[in-house]
């Protein structure tokens, strides 16, 4: 049966192609894909996605499946820390000679929310897990979009009005891929990264839940 295989970043350069159809035997699993590529030993740390969802090596394949071979996230940084965020530093993390575009997202504390006047925000996080989840998100968006590098930073503690709580940067050869991946990254971060926000407003305060809830 035939499947489509996609490669990214260093793997794409190693192979000299980004997408092609590959013949695999009936009953093949995701882990059977690499030997069929004839690219030598399988690099450590790679992951696989089947039809745009992360997949285990033992997951069965069907004719027509798309399998993405995803190299370890590199060149991007994933940081959760107290203190102001530096947009330029995050953008520098995704610099790449092949990039024709860098898309960024900056989330800023605003004055009004939920009909209340906000004085500041406070964030709490499980930093080690949050950084690991950011890296996972980066791997997913690289599997879905033809992007080069991803970096994310999130602030914890007290965040005054007008200051950034989260910064994301994505580099790609083309602007459409960079912008789509950046939007998906922040939308997913809001739902899955273990970071919690407290809104402090005139007359009270309230934990909102995870960062984007």
Helices H / strands E in the chain, number of each: 5, 13
The structure's pTM equals 0.65
What is residue 209's predicted lDDT score, i.e. its pLDDT?
A: 60
Whole-number pLDDT of residue 43: 74
Strands 147-160 and 116-125: antiparallel
What pLDDT shows up at residue 28? 95
145, containing H or E segment: none
Widest pairwise Cα distance in the chain: 66
Q: Are strands 116-125 and 66-70 parallel, antiparallel or unpaired?
A: unpaired
pLDDT one-digit tens code per residue, 127-168: 878 888 898 899 889 888 989 999 999 999 999 999 999 999
Ordered by where they begin, the domains of the chain are 2-70 (3.10.20.30), 78-210 (3.90.1170.40)
Q: How many CB atoms lie within 10 A of CB 158?
A: 15
**157 C-beta neighbours (distance < 10 Å), count:** 12
One digit per residue, pLDDT tens: the chain, 213 residues?
Answer: 999 999 877 788 889 998 999 999 999 999 999 999 999 888 766 778 899 887 888 999 999 999 988 765 444 478 898 999 999 999 998 988 999 999 999 999 999 988 899 999 999 988 878 888 898 899 889 888 989 999 999 999 999 999 999 999 999 999 999 999 999 999 999 998 989 899 999 988 888 865 444
Cβ 5 vs Cβ 33: under 8 Å: yes
Nearest alpha-carbon partner for 8 in 208, 181, 186 = 181
Exposed, middle or buried by CB within 10 Å (0-12, 13-18, 19+), for 149?
buried
N residues, the chain: 213
């Amino acid at each position: 049966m035939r499947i489509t295989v996609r490669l990214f970043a260093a793997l794409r350069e190693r192979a000299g192609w980004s997408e092609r159809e590959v013949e695999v035997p009936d009953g093949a699993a995701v882990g059977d894909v690499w030997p069929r590529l004839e690219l030598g030993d399988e690099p450590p740390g790679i992951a696989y996605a089947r039809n745009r969802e992360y997949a285990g090596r033992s997951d069965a394949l069907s004719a027509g499946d798309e399998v993405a071979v995803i190299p370890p996230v590199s060149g991007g940084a994933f940081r959760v820390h107290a203190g102001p965020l530096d947009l330029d530093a995050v953008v520098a993390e995704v610099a790449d000679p092949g990039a024709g575009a860098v898309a960024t997202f900056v989330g800023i504390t605003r004055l009004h929310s939920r009909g209340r006047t906000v004085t500041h925000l406070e964030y709490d996080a499980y930093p080690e897990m949050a950084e690991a989840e950011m890296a996972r998100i980066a791997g997913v968006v690289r599997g879905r979009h033809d992007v080069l590098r991803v970096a994310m930073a999130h602030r914890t503690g007290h965040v005054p009005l007008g200051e950034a709580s989260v910064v994301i940067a994505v580099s790609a050869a083309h602007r459409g891929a960079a912008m789509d991946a950046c939007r998906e990254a922040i939308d997913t971060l809001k739902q899955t990264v273990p970071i919690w926000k407290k809104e402090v407003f005139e007359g009270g305060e309230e934990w909102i839940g995870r960062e984007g809830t």
